[in-house]
Copies of this chain bind each other. A is one copy, B any other.
Amino acid sequence: MTTEVAELRVSFDTVVDVESLALAAKHAGRKLALLPTAGKDRTLLQIAESLDRHADQVLSANAEDAAEAAKLVDRGDMSNALYQRLLLTSEKYQGMIEGVRAVARLDDPSGKVLAKTLLDDGLVLEKVSVPLGLLAIIFEARPDAITQISSLAIKSGNAVILKGGREVERTMRAVLAAIQDGLREVGTIDSAAVTGVYGRASVEELLKLEGIIDLVIPRGSNALVQHIQNHTNIPVLGHADGVCHVYIDAAADVDMAVAIAVDSKVQYPAVCNAVETILVHRDIAPVVLPALAAALEAKGVKLRGDTATSELLVRHTVELVGEDEWHTEYGDLIAALRVVDGLDAALDHIERHGSHHTDAIVTEDAAAASRFLDEVDSANVLHNCSTRFSDGFRYGFGSEVGVSTNKLHARGPVGLEGLVTYKYRLLGSGQVVKDYVGKDARTFKHERL
């Protein structure tokens, strides 16, 4: 193990190696792509076992990372939230291992016949799902991302190259060593199929590998995601902003509206599907806003708002929101409140200031709900429930690869199906196109099989 890690250190620290590592991973991925589901599941279970065996090494590597991080927190150079995220307890680590076993139980997204058509006698077209090839995951301080993404990659038949934040570098080396040991024990796939790169420069190297890397998945701050989106021609699965809204309609149940708005804000304010702006219909604002303000403040939420809101909340401290601030993602216990003239004004606000991620309406008016759900151009549109539900686990995807605010390929919470593409297989018996054109042309049957 120790020699292993030392070897990895030597090879990984050289930036010139990023392309060769990626090529080796891609090559290993070709075999992985051909493995039947049972083979991939066996591999995952072996990796889980190996992770279990490596628990001491991983936890002590993480303790070193945590000790370094604690110094940064003390100096004010790292937030406590980040520190908590990178800290691995024995329980959290067991959760990571259980996560790998859970992925083995998920449905295999590749190798599915998505459509089958008889074009003509002896000429059958099949559309089959296949792995993308090589994924690159760039994440910050989340050790759980390593096992989660690696196992999702293996289950979908993709090789993966990981680049973690330097705050979790020791942890990542230890976890990857355990995963690669598991791969070696199974022996069917080259352990290069799951690999890691280190050092800041390696991100730029990865982002250049168009044609080798098929998909980049960033996991981290908006700044990280945006930087990646702007610096690569490789497709990126991710979302930079999560500026989500709850619109409380005139016909809302007030208690429900308050409960939903509060849950959307406070249940986990740092995540992308937490609400930032709560829009309140003018007619119901005098009733809703005082109740909402009290409930939010009881949970420690600071209030911001427009003039109409602050006039209705004279007993509360409401900091004014400038017109150019409505797109702010606070990611914290801060809520922006705005009084709107009605559904159309709410739709306009969301279109202008939202990030097309998750938006909810609270109303008992079915027609208003229906218009909201149809007309809001977001990945997730919700009626009478908390924005915090827009999540791959809650949606029942088993696992979440990421959240996308792109419209192409995958939108919203993305499950394993976001890691596959498809190919067309056409099985003939000597057919040529010239027989299907001009006079006496054969006609296609196009029968769905």
Contact = CB atoms under 8 A, between A and B. Distances in A.
B394 A425 contact: no
Contacts of A384: 427-431
A428 B383 contact: yes
B133 A235 contact: no
A432 interface: yes
Contacts of A71: none
A348 to B, nearest CB: 11
Main secondary structure, interface of A, reads: mixed
Contact of A396 (B235, B385, B389, B446): B446
A426 B396 contact: no
Nearest to A237: B408
Contacts of A267: 432-434, 437
Q: How many copies are assembled?
A: 2
Contacts of A389: 119, 123, 426, 428, 431, 433
Interface stretch (A57-65, A321-329, A369-377): A369-377
Nearest to A381: B425
A128 to B, nearest CB: 9
Given A426-B390, A430-B260, A34 B374 contact: yes
A195 interface: no
A368 interface: no
Given A119-B394, A132-B407, A383-B427, 10 more contacts: A34-B374, A34-B375, A117-B395, A119-B395, A214-B407, A235-B407, A263-B433, A378-B423, A380-B423, A382-B425
Interface of A: 30, 34, 117, 119, 123, 125, 132-133, 214-215, 229-230, 233, 235, 253, 256, 259-260, 262-263, 267-268, 373-375, 377-386, 388-390, 394-396, 406-409, 411-413, 421-434, 436-437, 444, 446
